[in-house]
A and B are shown apart, each in its own frame.
Chain A
Amino acid sequence: MLTLKCPCCGVMTDETELHAEGEAHLKRFGPGSSDEDFTGYLFQRENPKGIHFERWRHAYGCGKYFHAARCTVTLEVFGTYPAQTLEPPQEIKDAISAKRPGWSWREMSN
């Protein structure tokens, strides 16, 4: 069972208490943007085999959203952090770089 720490209420939660909400840090495009940007925002996903930054909701707990950095191959969790950020905090990036030498945030997010 996957367990994540909810940074909002501090509880260590089982995946049965959570709801996965897909890729995090999406750049929002709305009315007035190009068709391509709007499609990208709504539908196209990185779906990486490796490090994934993702939104979760503590659905059967405090009800709040948060972010997690997780490897989709090993299921290793590099940390969770509040949803009110544009990119992962430095300590999460460092934790990933330590385990995956050569990894960098820009490459992953573009």
Chain B
Amino acid sequence: MKRYSAFAVAREALRGNAGWQRAWGAPEPRPAYDVVIIGAGGHGLATAYYLGKRFGITNVAILEKGWLGGGNTGRNTTIIRSNYLQDASAAIYEKARSLYETLSQDLNYNIMFSPRGVMMLAQTHHEVRGYQRTAFANNLQGVETEFIGPQRVKELCPIIELKGPRYPVMGALWQPRGGTARHDAVAWGYARACSDMGMHIIQQCEVTGVRSEGGKVTGVETTKGPIGCSKLGVVVAGHSGVVAEMAGFRLPIESVPLQALVSEPIKPCMDVVVMANTVHGYMSQSDKGEMVIGGGTDGYNAYTQRGSFHHLEETVRALIETFPMISRLKMLRHWGGIVDVTGDRSPILSKTPVEGVFINCGWGTGGFKAIPGSGWGFAELMAKGHSPLTAEFGLDRFTEGRFIDESVAAGVAH
């Protein structure tokens, strides 16, 4: 693979851009691979990448029913932070955040990581106490966060109205090294690196069945024919329940739509990410100038990739109180993704009842930020059968009552 560099841009400018290579291949599937990953979203691709990079396992196929990055990875509002309450969460999200810092260099692909700072507003007394507690927990975990007062909030984000009336801003949990990245680029960068290691990314290839013999996986049925494997990674987000059923087990997961919207582009007015969890809204400004706004999930199971309109109304109505200036903005696009939600709002990275089948799901409304850390840990789990990063996130935690409860700290979509 030819490397991307300033020199390459200059060279190609001089020869009519004739020398660029395809970023990844479009191979036909082989009859079998050592490892098959279902789902070419960020988590599936990162898993494949670290399988190759950390463990030298490169006889890998990544099967995608649509186009790579076309699931939630290409639909999210790109917030990256690691200010979670529980130790297990802080560990995996902070690993991810720190990998994001050098990911562009690692992948030789500009993922546009922008550590502009993430601010989670406290708009009730309950939230003030909750975030102060999280800030203390983060200090112990080695995650740099701080509880700041309203004046500092206003300095960091002048367009915020502090006074309410319904939801006055009483402070915020501030993570200066959180931020955003270009979501498509994360998928594309990993895909290019996987393809370069000889892995097969096979798009338009839907898995329709899981084959096993004597309780052990032997391969999958797909719309491009059967493909054998000795290890299978299921990384399909909202469709986890569907694929689990093919393999013969159920999950503690429900799939619901989550929506986002963007405004017309305007001049720079906000250079941090702001989340307002009480009112279920969060906002940042993209490099193009659009205000990127995310809302809450729909209340009931659906696979529609569009949500209920009244949820958008609710989000925008509440955000206007905190950001009065957006009341004059036109909204350009809105869309939805199907997110996989667990009861404790924490992900599942686990072995399953079928030997050789591993599952990585339950990232729900907040897994973009976790992509590198999740791939790092899940690859280790698949290669070695155990990973310190994923140990707490097994399916057995539901039987044992050992929840990783993030539903208070992270009770909203992000």
Contact = CB atoms under 8 A, between A and B. Distances in A.
A74 B305 CA distance: 11
B300 A54 contact: yes
B331 interface: no
B303 interface: yes
Given A43-B343, A44-B252, A46-B241, A54 B301 contact: yes
Interface stretch (A33-41, A81-89, A91-99): A33-41
B21 interface: no
Contacts of B253: 45, 47
A72 B302 contact: yes
B297 to A, nearest CB: 11
A2 interface: yes
Given A49-B303, A72-B303, A43 B398 contact: yes
B182 interface: no
B242 interface: yes
A45 B242 CA distance: 11
Nearest to A56: B300
Given A1-B309, A39-B399, A20 B250 contact: no
B309 A22 contact: no
B304 interface: yes
Nearest to B300: A20
A43 B241 CA distance: 13
Given A43-B252, A54-B301, A49 B239 contact: yes
Interface residues of A, number: 26
Interface residues of B, number: 22
Contact of A1 (B241, B300, B310, B343): B310
Nearest to B302: A72
A42 B399 CA distance: 9
B343 A15 contact: no
Contacts of B255: 47, 49, 72
B209 to A, nearest CB: 15
A44 B301 contact: no
Contacts of A75: 302, 304
B388 interface: no
B159 interface: no
A48 interface: yes
B304 A52 contact: no
Contacts of B310: 1, 15-16
Interface in B295-351: 299-304, 308-310, 343
A75 to B, nearest CB: 6
B254 interface: yes
A48 B241 CA distance: 7
Contacts of A1: 308-310
Contact of B250 (A45, A52, A73, A74): A45
A54 B46 CA distance: 36
Interface string B277-303: 000000000000000000000011111
B99 interface: no
B251 interface: yes
A46 B250 contact: yes
A75 B309 CA distance: 14
Given A36-B399, A72-B301, A73-B303, A44 B250 contact: yes
A100 interface: no
A19 interface: yes
A47 B360 CA distance: 17
A42 B371 CA distance: 29
Interface string B113-141: 00000000000000000000000000000
Contacts of A15: 299-300, 308, 310
Interface string B215-244: 000000000000000000000000101100
B250 A40 contact: yes
Interface string A3-45: 0000000000001100110100000000000011011101111
9 contacts: A1-B308, A16-B310, A20-B300, A22-B301, A38-B399, A43-B252, A45-B253, A47-B255, A49-B239
Interface of B: 239, 241-242, 245, 250-255, 299-304, 308-310, 343, 398-399
Interface of A: 1-2, 15-16, 19-20, 22, 35-36, 38-40, 42-49, 52, 54, 72-75
Given A44-B252, A45-B253, 11 more contacts: A22-B254, A39-B399, A40-B250, A44-B250, A44-B251, A45-B241, A45-B252, A48-B245, A49-B242, A52-B301, A54-B301
